[in-house]
Structure 1
Amino acid sequence: MKRLLPLLSLFAICCSFNAAANITFDGLFEQGALVRAKVAPDTKVWLNNEPLMLTPDGELAFGFAREAALKQELKLKLADGSEQVIPLKIKSREYKIQRVNGIAKKIMKPDPKAVARSRQDSKQVKTARGQFTDNQAFMQDFIWPLTGRISGVYGSQRVYNGKPGTPHYGVDVAAKTGTVIVAPADGTVSLAVADMFYSGGTIIVDHGYGVSSSFLHLSKLYVAPGDFIAQGQPIGEVGATGRATGPHLDWRLNWYQMRLDPVSIVPSMASVLSGASKIGQ
């Protein structure tokens, strides 16, 4: 991991802190973000009194949900038995909300068969996201699995006849059907299903310590459960399968069951596209 920030410089911007705390961070303290961190080996860490899993080298990850509380707390217990408490001030985000009224009641009423199928799909997805593995790829510098026009953003939501729909928990990148996508980081395939009801062709890659990536609406899958995937390796093709209005990749980032914004761990799309254009000159 190349972007670790000293505690002093990060917390001077984000929150009040104990300057002696023995921890460094990679990430932003804001709603929807994934944060990676490193402490001295044999340190124990709690987030809001919940213990966090650490690698043998003292690396860890945690996230802040879409509507995360703006005040949270980290506690460290060092190898010598001393403890430090670090208050975290989480930055709030504003999300794009679209209100749609006048929809007929029969359209709003879900199909029982569709509901049953989607629930079965959800069970598979939750199982894949909920597992713990000791893969340390979560500490890599992630890359975009696909570059192009961003057509949908994390946290956006539609309100139908005054009833809020499920927020969008990914970032959408528009591309033609058949465009190849690659793994944003190393990992092991924990789920690969060609025809889920809502998400169509779906892949989940486990990066370790609760961090995983989901790829939705794929037209073709190149991988199977259990496959080890290297960063940059092709894993599938863009499609419009499931409940999609057009071909695109819906890339999602998870910390266990918490759904986070993939944009929080990659360079901006504009900078990536700009860099690619300069290389081609």
Structure 2
Amino acid sequence: MAKLPALFIVFTLMLGLTKTHVASAKTQLTEQFFQGALIVGKTAPENRVMLNGKAIKVSASGDYALGFSRDEKNNSVLTITSPSGEIEKRTLKPLKREYNIQRIEGIAKKIMNPNKKANIRVGEDNKKIKAARTIDSNLTAFAQGFIAPIEGTITGVYGSQRYYNGVPKWPHYGLDYAGNTGDPVKAPADGVVLMYVPDMFYSGGTMIIDHGHGVSSTFLHLSDAYVNVGDKVVKGQLVAAVGSSGRATGPHLDWRINWFDVRLDPALVLKLTPLK
């Protein structure tokens, strides 16, 4: 058998080392490990990523997403496995936050307890929203940063909760922006319109935009939509108009962010710096 040139052998070995190095590259994570945070990771695209034993989608460029709920107290284990079997494990501890709690008395019973017909309608609305939030597309806009969808004063924050007549209600899971009916609402990141319903019982005009890997934006109380379901949108594009539809006391935008069914804090999402 003819001997291979020494230079060829060295070059071949270098290729093998480079491939192994890429496959086992350490993962990067955005460092906002708070309750309600969206966490964006980056690793070698051929690596397998698991969160608490469940597979997490990794994009062709190595991006992936995960998030902590408002009240998450348990640590999560992130495991990255290379094709060669090398394993990296990281324990993610959600940092506890304090939320604004308000107690309001004297609310009329008819407001506290919607009638049967209204409850049926609410159930149908929730099915549509839940279906949209199960989408796990290959879009990677979630990793490219977000902008505020409207220029306005923030009047309501994520995590706040009210007790009406001593009964705890659902916490607020979005950012409320003051505005006037018709004010422009922009896409906070690139994406695809998953849903628009003009008249949901509680949230009125409701739009959901997919940003990829289970990350989505939801806009509530809209007065109009300027895009259709299935449309691709780009960051900063006009997509809707502020309104007071549904159970709103006045015109404003309620913007929400989800990672599948995990409700995240848009204020934290706005602070994310894309990984390189």
The question of a shared fold, defined as TM-score above 0.5 by the shorter chain, is answered with: yes
Which residue of the partner structure matches residue 182 of structure 2?
178
| 1:235-262, Cα deviation, whole Å (9 max, x unpaired) | 0110111011111110000101111111
| Distance apart, 1:132 and its partner CA | 1.3
Which residue of the partner structure matches residue 158 of structure 2?
154
How many residues are matched? 249
Q: TM-score, normalised by structure 2?
A: 0.86
Aligned match for 1:132, one of 127, 132, 136: 136
Q: Which moved more, 1:108-117 or 1:220-229?
A: 108-117
Task: Give, in whole Å, the separation in 2 of the partners of 1:205 and 1:216.
Answer: 12
Unaligned runs of 5+ in 1: 1-19, 269-281
Q: 1:106 to 1:136 in 2, by over 3 A?
A: closer
| Distance apart, 1:100 and its partner CA | 2.0
| Distance apart, 1:106 and its partner CA | 5.0
The question of 1:76 aligning with 2:80 is answered yes
Task: Give, in whole Å, the separation in 1 of the partners of 2:189 and 2:31.
Answer: 16
Q: Is the 8 A contact 2:25 2:44 kept in 1?
A: no
Which residue of the partner structure matches residue 199 of structure 2?
195
Which residue of the partner structure matches residue 11 of structure 2?
none
Q: 1:159 to 1:39 in 2, by over 3 A?
A: same
Aligned match for 2:117, one of 113, 120, 132: 113
Q: 1:107 to 1:198 in 2, by over 3 A?
A: closer
Q: Which amino acid aligns with 1:242?
A: G
Q: 1:106 to 1:233 in 2, by over 3 A?
A: closer
Q: Which amino acid aligns with 1:227?
A: D
Which residue of the partner structure matches residue 58 of structure 2?
54
Instruction: Tell me the SS of whatever aligns to 2:189.
Output: coil
Task: Give, in whole Å, the separation in 1 of the partners of 2:114 and 2:199.
Answer: 19
| Distance apart, 1:71 and its partner CA | 1.9
| Distance apart, 1:44 and its partner CA | 1.0
Which residue of the partner structure matches residue 168 of structure 1?
172
Task: Give, in whole Å, the separation in 2 of the partners of 1:240 and 1:27.
Answer: 36
| 1:110-131, Cα deviation, whole Å (9 max, x unpaired) | 2111111111011001101111
The question of 1:31 aligning with 2:28 is answered no
| Distance apart, 1:79 and its partner CA | 2.4
Task: Give, in whole Å, the separation in 1 of the partners of 2:134 and 2:95.
Answer: 26
Q: Which amino acid aligns with 2:78?
A: L
Q: Percent same amino acid among aligned pairs? A: 49
| Distance apart, 1:26 and its partner CA | 2.1
Which residue of the partner structure matches residue 7 of structure 1?
none
Q: Which has the larger radius of gyration?
A: 2
Which residue of the partner structure matches residue 17 of structure 1?
none
The question of 1:261 aligning with 2:265 is answered yes
Instruction: Tell me the SS of whatever aligns to 2:209.
Output: strand
Q: 1:232 to 1:195 in 2, by over 3 A?
A: same
Q: TM-score, normalised by structure 1?
A: 0.85
Task: Give, in whole Å, the separation in 1 of the partners of 2:128 and 2:251.
Answer: 24
